[in-house]
Amino acid sequence: MSQTAPEIIVIGAGVVGCSIAFHLAALGQPRVLVLDRLSIGAGTSAQSSGILRTHYSVPQNVELARRSFAAFEGFAACLDDDEADSGLVKCGYLIAAPEGPRLAPLQAALAQQQAMGIPLQRLDARQAAERLPIARFDDAALIGFEPEAGFADAYLVATGFARAARRRGVRFAEGVAVQGLLREGQRVTGVQTDRGPMSAAVVISAQNIWTPELAAWTGIDMPVKPERHRVFAFESAAAPYTPAMPVYKDLGSPGMLYCRSYGGRQMLASEGIAGEVLPAPDVEPGDIPMDAVLEVGEQVAGRFPAYAEAGLASSWTGVYDVTPDWNPVLGPVPGLDGLLVAFGFSGHGFKLSPAVGHLMAQLALGLPTDTAVEPYAIGRFGAGRLLTGLYGEGAVS
Ligand SMILES: Cc1cc2nc3c(=O)[nH]c(=O)nc-3n(C[C@H](O)[C@H](O)[C@H](O)COP(=O)(O)OP(=O)(O)OC[C@H]3O[C@@H](n4cnc5c(N)ncnc54)[C@H](O)[C@@H]3O)c2cc1C
């Protein structure tokens, strides 16, 4: 490790921390040290379903997602690394709602996307079935299709950002736990770690579900809770979900299911509603009771008739960092200089990570930001300016 003291310390080498580190270096500040008590991408990023879309009802999220998709698509060029690969499968994103409470939010979100210049098509049931022939659309009152969407690999993206950052001089220290902040009055001057104190002019926390540690170090409330979610891979010999088929968001199912191709022929499916709140951050696999398998399996079979005979190929759990309005907190912490935070991605942070990294790097370097950060300020909760999306609770926003 070089002896030069870092100007900026990033806590957390998930996809967000790695993106921040890369963008700092790309903007001309390579004196960055990224600390992680685990290893690069081994936190909640490793559990991501990887879905990329710009479908949001919150316009600021549309903007961040649009900028991010361009980075995922041109990942090698963005990183100036011919070997970099985001694992992008550009299969598009299909979203449908029946008559009922989710129809108006879908109408509004699609209209807003179009007004923002997002390529978008409204499909009828026949056109939707051409794209996703294994699903039924007979109940759909509105179907949107976004071609600039799909899924990618969060671990590949995190490690890609990390490698490109390293090439520009950023240092990564894995297996190092941050235990507190160094302060001089109101100014944060570095971090205390299990290897000793480390000073820096700016500290950026990208700690995700472990952000409550930061709350304990600062005495400032960080509104985030860890929520465990279940993900299933189903396999149907009669109706494989191939990578050419779009990601599907089923607003007609009780759990607002999302589904995508997985491993070539299987279907990855999960609910897009609130999950199990954990008493403490913990990424260890959780139990998946048979009742939960049946509940999701029934919803899948209701939409994909051939999946009534499908087998469960595998299942796993992952943990979201959920804020009260299901949107991230980005930016400074009032009352503490030299500290920036990026947490609370509420199950949809991967698709935003390139633009969030850029935004956070601009903030850290005192540059004008090219996307608005104020809507994501931590002060919005106390001020009653929540960013709650039209779909309410759940990772659509
Ligand atoms: C099951 C599941 C499915 C998802 N699906 C999608 C999806 O389809 N699309 C999408 O856009 N998003 C999705 N997400 C969300 C997305 O994956 C996350 O928002 C994103 O990966 C979070 O990245 P991160 O860098 O903030 O967090 P993490 O990857 O968790 O990184 C945080 C890092 O901080 C480190 N750390 C914390 N505290 C300390 C400390 N004190 N000292 C040292 N290191 C510390 C941790 O070790 C960890 O490595 C999903 C998430 C889950 C769990």
Is the domain of 161 the same as that of 114? no
Q: Which of 326, 345, 353, 360 to mutate to test the pocket of ligand 1 (most atoms within 8 A of CB)?
A: 345
Is the domain of 244 the same as that of 365? no
315 sits in which H/E element: strand 311-322
At 194, which CATH number? Answer: 3.50.50.60
Residue 217 has pLDDT above 70, yes or no: yes
- The finding on whether 376 has its CB within 6 A of some atom of ligand 1 is no
Is the domain of 162 the same as that of 267? no
- Ligand 1 atom nearest the C-alpha of 176 is 43
- Ligand 1 atom nearest the C-alpha of 17 is 25
Residue 4 has pLDDT above 80, yes or no: no
> Distance, CA 208 to ligand 1 centroid (Å)?
6
Residue located nearest, by CA, to atom 1 of ligand 1: 318
* Share above pLDDT 90 across residues of the chain, in percent, rounded to a whole number: 97
Residue 145 has pLDDT above 60, yes or no: yes
Domain that holds residue 288: 93-147+226-321
Q: Give the pLDDT of residue 1.
A: 43
Is the domain of 125 the same as that of 232? yes
Q: Give the pLDDT of residue 314.
A: 97
How far is residue 69's CA from residue 350's CA, in Å, rounded to a whole number?
Answer: 10
Report if pTM > 0.95. Answer: yes
- The finding on whether 45 has its CB within 6 A of some atom of ligand 1 is yes
Q: Which of 38, 49, 157, 330 to mutate to test the pocket of ligand 1 (most atoms within 8 A of CB)?
A: 49
Supply the mean pLDDT for the chain: 97
Residue located nearest, by CA, to atom 18 of ligand 1: 349
Model confidence pLDDT, tens digit, residues 242-263: 999 999 999 999 999 999 999 9
Residue 55 has pLDDT above 60, yes or no: yes
Residue 331 falls within a domain, yes or no? yes
Model confidence pLDDT, tens digit, residues 75-118: 999 999 999 999 999 999 999 999 999 999 999 999 999 999 99
Pairing outcome for strands 266-270 and 51-52: unpaired
- The domain total for the chain is 2
SS3 label, residue 145: strand
Name which of 208, 86, 245, 76 is nearest 152 in CA terms. 86
